[in-house]
Amino acid sequence: SAFVQAIEAANPSLNAYVTELPEKAIAMARQSDERRAKGEGGVLEGAPLGIKDLFCTEGVRTTACSSILGEFTPPYESTVTSNLWREGAVMLGKLNMDEFAMGSSNETSRFGDVTNPWRRNDGNNAKLTPGGSSGGSAAAVAADLCLAATASDTGGSIRQPASLTGTVGIKPTYGRASRYGMVAFASSLDQAGPIAKSVKDAALMLNVMCSHDDKDSTSLKVAQPDWTKAVGAPVKGMKIGVPKEYRVEGMPEELEKLWQQGIDWLKDAGCEIVDVSLPHTKYALPAYYIVAPAEASSNLARYDGMRYGVRKEGEGLSAIYSNTRAEGFGAEVQRRLMIGTYVLSAGYYDAYYLRAQKVRTKILQDFQNVFQEVDALLTPTSPSTAFALGELSDDPLTMYLNDVFTVTANLAGLPGISVPVATDHLGLPMGLQVIGKALDEEACFKVAAQLE
Q: Is there binding between residue 330 and ligand GLN (CB under 6 A)?
A: no
How far, in Å, CA of 424 to CA of 178, rounded?
A: 36
Q: Please tell me which residue in 82, 105, 137, 157 is annotated as part of the active site.
A: 157
Q: Which of 103, 169, 305, 413 binds ligand GLN (CB under 6 A)?
A: 103
In angstroms, the CA 45 to CA 88 distance is 4
Q: Which is nearer to ligand GLN, 103 or 328 (CB)?
A: 103
Residues 45, 69 contacting (CB under 8 angstroms)? no
Residue 157 interacts with ligand GLN (CB under 6 A): yes or no: yes
CA 30 – CA 48 distance, rounded (Å): 12
415 binds ligand GLN (CB under 6 A): no
Annotated catalytic residue 188: no
**The only residue of 213, 375, 403, 441 in contact with ligand GLN, by rule CB under 6 A:** 403
Using CB under 6 A, which of 117, 155, 193, 420 touches ligand GLN?
155
Does position 135 interact with ligand GLN (CB under 6 A)? The reply is no
Nearer to ligand GLN, 28 or 404 (CB): 404
Q: Name the residue among 88, 63, 60, 97 with its Cα closest to residue 75.
A: 60
Size of the site for ligand GLN (CB under 6 A): 13
Residue 378 has phi, psi (to 5 degrees) of -115, 125
The verdict on whether 297 is a catalytic residue reads no
Q: Could you say whether residue 79 binds ligand GLN (CB under 6 A)?
A: no
DSSP 100: G
Nearer to ligand GLN, 265 or 342 (CB): 342
Measured CA to CA in angstroms, residue 390 lies from 13, 14, 120, 211 at distances of 16, 15, 16, 39
> Which one, of 209, 234, 213, lies nearest residue 222 by Cα?
213
Among 10, 49, 101, 170, binds ligand GLN (CB under 6 A): 101
In the complex with ligand GLN, which residue's Cβ is closer, 104 or 137? Answer: 104
Please tell me whether residue 105 binds ligand GLN under the rule CB under 6 A: no
Among 292, 374, 421, 439, binds ligand GLN (CB under 6 A): 292
Q: Which CB sits closer to ligand GLN, 49 or 409? A: 409
Residue 58 vs residues 73, 80, 131, 181, 243: alpha-carbon distances, Å: 7, 13, 28, 10, 44
* Binder of ligand GLN out of 77, 107, 113, 153 (CB under 6 A): 153
Query: 3-class DSSP state for residue 257?
Result: helix
Euclidean distance between CA atoms 439 and 191, whole angstroms: 13
Asked if 133 is an active-site residue, the reply is yes
Tell me, rounded to whole angstroms, the distance of Cα 19 from its chain centroid: 19
Partner residues linked to 243 by β-bridges: 276
Binding status of residue 133 toward ligand GLN by CB under 6 A? yes
- Minimum Å distance from CB 227 to ligand GLN? 21
| Nearest to ligand GLN of 155, 413 (CB atom) | 155
Which range of residues in 95-103, 222-230, 269-277, 388-396 is near ligand GLN by CB under 6 A? 95-103
Q: Which of 133, 178, 382, 418 is catalytic?
A: 133
Any contact of residue 382 with ligand GLN (CB under 6 A)?
no
CB neighbourhood size of 168 (10 A): 30
Shortest Å distance, C-beta 66 to ligand GLN: 13
Stretch that binds ligand GLN, among 29-37, 40-48, 151-159, 360-368 (CB under 6 A): 151-159
Counting Cα atoms < 13 Å in the Cβ hemisphere of 48 gives 26
Asked if residue 365 lies in contact with residue 340, where contact means CB atoms within 8 angstroms, the answer is no
The answer to the question of residue 172 lying near ligand GLN (CB under 6 A) is no
In the chain, helix, strand, coil percent, each to 5? 40, 15, 45
What are the residue numbers of the active site? Answer: 52, 133, 157
| Residues forming the site for ligand GLN (CB under 6 A) | 101-104, 133, 153-157, 185, 292, 403
